[in-house]
Structure 1
Amino acid sequence: MLTVEFFSGDPLNDLYVVLLNEEGKEIDSTISLNKGEAQFNNLQPNETYTVKVGNPNNFTTGMYLTEKKFMYTSSTQSILVQTYAVNHNKGFGVPVILQNPELPNGCEITTLTAVLNYYGAETSKLEMDQNYLPKQSFEYKMKKKYGPNPNQAYGGEPSNLETGTYVFAEPIVKAANNFITERKLDLHAKNSSGSTIKEITNYIRQGIPVIIWVTLDLSPPKVKGGWIMEETGEYHQMYQNLHTMVLLSVGNTTVEVMDPRKGLITLDKGAFFNSYEALGEQAVVVY
């Protein structure tokens, strides 16, 4: 059995690999060594097995990185397992996707597209925007502006520089899961808002990039204007500098991100997480 990084195909060593029989009972376990190889003996021909791959602590939380079912035959020489663990010597393979010029106000759907591409899903930011992002137009009634709750839908159009706004985590999760379901992918998007720095760092260590809501320059959030949310009648103050980035690595003093405006950049860790907290700790993961 060969364990490799999903996006790049690089072999991965030091992963915990568990073998289960058709009833789900663990029958063997090992560590991937020597260019990602994990060896199991005494498998029975024409029997169905399942392998689970991850770090040892994954199995205590139930969030192992990869699960693959296969049937062993006498002609089976090896099984290739593409796992979402990361070759830390090379860093994440999240592609750089820039929101401009097509989506000047579409950082959220652009970062989601980059994460889906990282897992091998073929899609584009425009397809995700046009077919999957929940959106709602603004309306004016008695000279008052009405629009959606950003926790439910995007207000306006990401392609419109003047009137496009933003969306929070839950609609991005919905867009991702609708896409995943339609394409029948073995993935799941999760709203991880409220996660602590430790929890976010743990995602990164497991090879799971995290979409994080921050401000454009990590300065304090700025609000101006807004609209009445139709569902509740409450007034939503509009953020002027809201942004999303894909978090790729967390160091002692810095973080590496894929910024859909600038590409791969390094930022101050403290300022980054302060901005995350100031915007309500919005985060999304896909795995």
Structure 2
Amino acid sequence: MKKLCLAVSILPLFGCNNTDEAVLQQSEKHSYTEKYEQVPSPSIRKTRNPVPGHTEVINQPAKKDSIMLDVVLIKQNPELKYGCEVTSLAMVLNHAGVNTDKMDLYRSIQKDPDPIKRGTNGDILNWGNPADGFVGDMTGRQAGYAVFDKPMEALVNQKLPGRAINLTNQPFERLLEHISAGYPVVVWTTGDYRLPDRWESWNHGQQVIKTPLDLHAVVLVGYDANNVYLNDPLSGKKQVRVGKNQFIESWKALQSRAISYK
């Protein structure tokens, strides 16, 4: 979770540790690379078109009513005060069998180098774009903020070439199907998994970055009829139960961002 402090004399806390997330006014939409269609049988029909004019049909198990993945818990602190995104990704990649850790991903993630600039009252005037790379200092030695889905997708492809899945702007049901198939998902939410209620904005070139002051990234590891289950890198809790409808609202408020692998 990331909290913004706007007093000039106090180092601002932005990243997944104590702040919120930056929601771009012009957020990109990304499509899931494969189309899943529910069929009235104990399977999901997965269609793709490797040859023009030809549809290949592959059957795979239907989405389970409930599932819990045993994903290793990794804590972001004390090294990465604002590193919830890469720490969450470290959990997911370890589940995939990749030999990596949060510090490796911290060094490897794309960074947006634009420095923070403040007005005389402490308000942020200019800063980076989390859609381009991590904004600020992830360690917390200086102000830090967040990174969004596209740099995270690129990082998955570094570690698992060609296997990144960007589920951003997909229906939440697609995320549950992906979990059901055995793949944990990094999702963007708020620190308390509720709707954000405080906002900040700054300029980045010709863009205006508008952001809720409570951003967090966690790992979606399971679900049942009424709840989802999360590994939270900040609280250090594994398989945290959160009401499904409440969580979906917070996820949508954060622009429905989600990253995984296949």
Q: TM-score, normalised by structure 1?
A: 0.64
Q: Matched residues in 1 for 2:249 and 2:158: separation?
A: 31
State the shift of 1:190 in Å.
Answer: 2.0
Correspondence for 2:34: none
Over the aligned positions, Cα root-mean-square deviation in angstroms equals 3.1
Q: Is the 8 A contact 2:188 2:254 kept in 1?
A: yes
The reply to whether residue 208 of structure 1 matches residue 183 of structure 2 is: yes
Compare CA radii of gyration and give the structure with the larger one. 1
Q: Matched residues in 2 for 1:227 and 1:261: separation?
A: 26
Q: Given the alignment, which residue of 136, 145, 155 partners 1:165?
A: 145
Q: Is the 8 A contact 1:223 1:237 kept in 2?
A: no
Q: Deviations over 1:173-220 (max 9, x none)?
A: 112212334xxxxx6112211111221111111111111111000222
Distance change >3 Å, CA 64–CA 126, structure 1 → 2: farther
Correspondence for 1:241: 214
Question: What secondary structure does 1:101 align onto?
Answer: coil
Counterpart code for 1:208: Y
Counterpart code for 2:165: K
State the shift of 1:145 in Å.
Answer: 3.9
Question: What secondary structure does 1:245 align onto?
Answer: strand
State the shift of 1:90 in Å.
Answer: 8.2
Q: Matched residues in 2 for 1:238 and 1:163: separation?
A: 15
Question: What secondary structure does 1:193 align onto?
Answer: coil
Q: Given the alignment, which residue of 95, 109, 114 partners 1:118?
A: 95
The reply to whether residue 250 of structure 1 matches residue 227 of structure 2 is: no
Q: Matched residues in 1 for 2:59 and 2:98: separation?
A: 17
Q: What does 1:138-157 correspond to in 2, within 5 Å? A: 138-140=115-117, 145-157=125-137
Gaps of 5+ in 1: 1-54, 67-85, 182-186
| Percent of residue pairs bearing the same amino acid type | 25
Q: Is the 8 A contact 2:117 2:125 kept in 1?
A: yes
State the shift of 1:126 in Å.
Answer: 0.6
Correspondence for 2:257: 282
Q: Given the alignment, which residue of 35, 41, 44 partners 1:57?
A: 44
Counterpart code for 2:151: P
Q: Given the alignment, which residue of 260, 274, 277 partners 2:233?
A: 260
Q: Is the 8 A contact 1:132 1:178 kept in 2?
A: no
Q: Matched residues in 1 for 2:129 and 2:85: separation?
A: 15
Q: Given the alignment, which residue of 74, 95, 100 partners 2:77?
A: 100
Q: Matched residues in 1 for 2:66 and 2:168: separation?
A: 29
State the shift of 1:224 in Å.
Answer: 4.1
Distance change >3 Å, CA 141–CA 248, structure 1 → 2: closer
Q: Deviations over 1:144-189 (max 9, x none)?
A: 74332211111112111651101111111112212334xxxxx611
Q: Is the 8 A contact 2:46 2:58 kept in 1?
A: yes
Q: Deviations over 1:205-245 (max 9, x none)?
A: 11111111110002222444443113xx2221333210011
Q: Matched residues in 1 for 2:176 and 2:160: separation?
A: 25
Q: Is the 8 A contact 1:145 1:227 kept in 2?
A: yes
State the shift of 1:248 in Å.
Answer: 1.1
Q: Is the 8 A contact 2:136 2:142 kept in 1?
A: no
Gaps of 5+ in 2: 1-41, 49-55
Equivalent residues, number: 208
Distance change >3 Å, CA 188–CA 141, structure 1 → 2: same
Q: Matched residues in 1 for 2:129 and 2:216: separation?
A: 17
Q: Given the alignment, which residue of 161, 164, 175 partners 1:189?
A: 164
Q: TM-score, normalised by structure 2?
A: 0.69
Counterpart code for 1:286: Y
Q: Is the 8 A contact 1:248 1:256 kept in 2?
A: yes
Counterpart code for 2:211: M
Q: Deviations over 1:45-98 (max 9, x none)?
A: xxxxxxxxxx942654679799xxxxxxxxxxxxxxxxxxx9999831211011
Question: What secondary structure does 1:220 align onto?
Answer: coil
Q: Matched residues in 2 for 1:120 and 1:88: separation?
A: 26
